Amino acid sequence: MSGSDVLFAPVNGADHRNVNGVLLDVVRAGKGRIKRTIYPAGFRWVTGMKDVAHTDLCMHAHIGFIVCGHVQVRFPDGCTMDFTAPSAVVIEPGHVGWVVGDEAAVLIEVDFEGDTAQQFGLPETHRHD
Ligand SMILES: [Zn+2]
């Protein structure tokens, strides 16, 4: 395997899941997890994940690195963030997101499930102060 193929291949030793076409590979790491997520082209959180999350916004913090593709997120106050690979990614809880363009986005994250923002010392929500 070479080039960008390895970014899309099943992760060795990971727990694989397909959630409405979003491919998740998760490996446990102590209290946390190392996670590779492939968001397909055309993905929008509102149509692809909202029903699974049972919340109006994605309430996860995202800490990691986008290795392929282009993602935008928006907070309720109208602020947006734009991540094009290769970029570090830091997104506070309480947002919606979507894939831009016709290429899948591949995000590699470290998380602590529902406790990620607190563990990293991030605000629990997006704010200006
Ligand atoms: Zn803002």
Cα 9 to averaged position of ligand 1 atoms, centre (Å): 36
Cα 90 to averaged position of ligand 1 atoms, centre (Å): 14
The full set of domain ranges for the chain reads: 14-120
Query: For residue 93, what is the DSSP state?
Result: S
* Nearest one of 55, 51, 49, 52 to 98, comparing CA atoms: 49
Alpha helices in the chain (DSSP H): 5-8, 45-48, 50-53, 116-120
**pLDDT band at residue 1 using 50, 70 and 90 as cut-offs:** low
- Tokens matching residue 35: 């996670």
Distances (CA, A) of 115 to 48, 63, 64: 23, 12, 15
**What residues does the ion ligand 1 have nearby, CB within 5 Å?**
77, 79
Residue with tokens 């963030």: 81
pLDDT tens digit string along 15-41? 999 999 999 999 999 999 999 999 999
Cα 129 to averaged position of ligand 1 atoms, centre (Å): 10
pLDDT tens digit string along 50-85? 888 889 999 999 999 999 999 999 999 999 999 999
* CATH number listed for the domain at residues 14-120: 2.60.120.10
Residues 6+ apart with CB under 8 A from 55: none
Q: Does 3 score more than 90 pLDDT?
A: no
Cα 18 to averaged position of ligand 1 atoms, centre (Å): 32
